[in-house]
């Protein structure tokens, strides 16, 4: 789930810049659909392998695959029809995209710095803070 969310946040400014549209519901839709996709892939591979042995066994897998595909399709359909599924943004410049990425990188560096500081033993943290204060 975190990979999906990270990918969406990383591509968001580029999509908005090129299409002038911000999809609000896509994050929710992906959180509902992505876990099912992994199950679908596994069942499909299982169905292919079982199909080589017995078509009757593969049919059982195919029924489950069909149900899950209907779920994915209906979820996507419901999310896309929603009036509040997205916002049209008329004016997006390249510097907006650059500022977004700068903020993301700075936020990441701050969080990483805070995590490494918390992992240090207390004595090392005190020495680190004394060192920084003397600068």
Q: What are phi and psi of 121, to 5 degrees?
A: -60, 160
Cβ 57 vs Cβ 47: under 8 Å? no
> Whole-model pTM above 0.85?
no
Contact 13, 100 (CB under 8 A): yes
Q: What is the DSSP string of 63-92?
A: HHHHHHHHHHHHHHHHHHH-TTSEEE-S--
CB atoms within 10 A of CB 53: 9
pLDDT in tens, 32-83: 999 999 999 999 999 999 999 999 889 988 999 999 999 999 999 988 887 7
* pLDDT tens-digit readout, 17-28: 999 888 888 888
CB atoms within 10 A of CB 8: 15
């Amino acid at each position: 789930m975190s990979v999906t969310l990270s990918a969406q946040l990383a591509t968001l400014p580029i999509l908005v810049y090129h299409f002038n549209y911000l999809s609000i519901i896509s994050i929710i839709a992906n959180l509902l659909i992505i876990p099912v996709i992994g199950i679908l892939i596994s069942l499909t591979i299982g169905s292919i392998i079982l199909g080589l042995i017995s078509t009757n066994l593969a049919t059982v897998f195919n029924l489950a695959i069909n149900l899950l595909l209907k779920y994915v399709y209906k979820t996507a359909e419901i999310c896309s029809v929603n009036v509040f599924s997205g916002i049209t943004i008329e004016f997006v410049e390249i510097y907006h995209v650059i500022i977004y990425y700068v903020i993301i990188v700075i936020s990441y560096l701050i969080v990483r710095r805070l995590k490494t500081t918390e992992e240090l033993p207390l004595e090392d943290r005190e020495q680190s803070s004394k060192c920084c204060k003397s600068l």
